[in-house]
Amino acid sequence: MNAPIDITGVELKTERLILRPWRESDLEDLYAYARVDGVGQMAGWLPHRDLDESRRILDMFIREKKTFALEYAGKAVGSLGIETYEEERYPELALADKRGREIGYVLSKDYWGRGLMPEAVRAVIRWLFEDVGLDFIIVGHFERNDRSRRVIEKCGFQYVKTIPWKTEYGRTETSREYILYRKNP
């Protein structure tokens, strides 16, 4: 089952990143990477058309309290959301009374290939398992998204199944789904 999540006041530090709640002052940073062609499409959304669109997304991030800003060198360069997963796709988890969530992430094209996303995902995994007490985390990637697949593999997720996924712009993609279980002490 989906566990409640609230990142209010949470700040996770890695060697190079600070993962923290989004702030109003991050608007220009969000728009700077979200408007770039090829970034959002890898996560199922189109590039932001204007600053107002980024403002609506930023307001949602702040209101919903489940999406981290990835801050690198004082600038928000990506996001990592702790989303609800579709429980009907994983009935075995509900029957086992397991608590979990799905993660999704995006990174500015300017920072691809530096190992920042695996670093961020590992920090969130630790927090979700050790502090929040989740039993599992689900993640997926479109089959064409090799960068995301490599992040998922580096972070230890195990492949579960392939499913159709409808993007925000109406296209159906093939998504490979993975899961990571908390190791029992």
Q: What is the pTM of this model?
A: 0.93
Distance of CA 166 to CAs 45, 142, 171, Å?
A: 10, 11, 6
pLDDT of residue 92: 81
Beta bridge partners of 75: 72
On average, the pLDDT of the chain sits at: 93
Q: What is the pLDDT of residue 164?
A: 86
- The residue ranges of DSSP E strands in the chain, in sequence order, are 12-13, 17-21, 67-72, 75-83, 100-107, 136-142, 158-166, 172-181
Whole-number Cα distances in Å, 4 to 1, 75, 119? 10, 28, 24
Specify the amino acid at residue 93: L
Residue 47 pLDDT level (bands cut at 50, 70, 90):
confident
**Calpha distance 178→180 (Å, rounded):** 7
Looking at domain 12-181, which of 3.20.20.70, 3.10.129.10, 3.40.630.30, 3.30.1240.10 is its CATH number? 3.40.630.30
- pLDDT of 3 strictly over 70: yes
pLDDT at 184 over 70: no
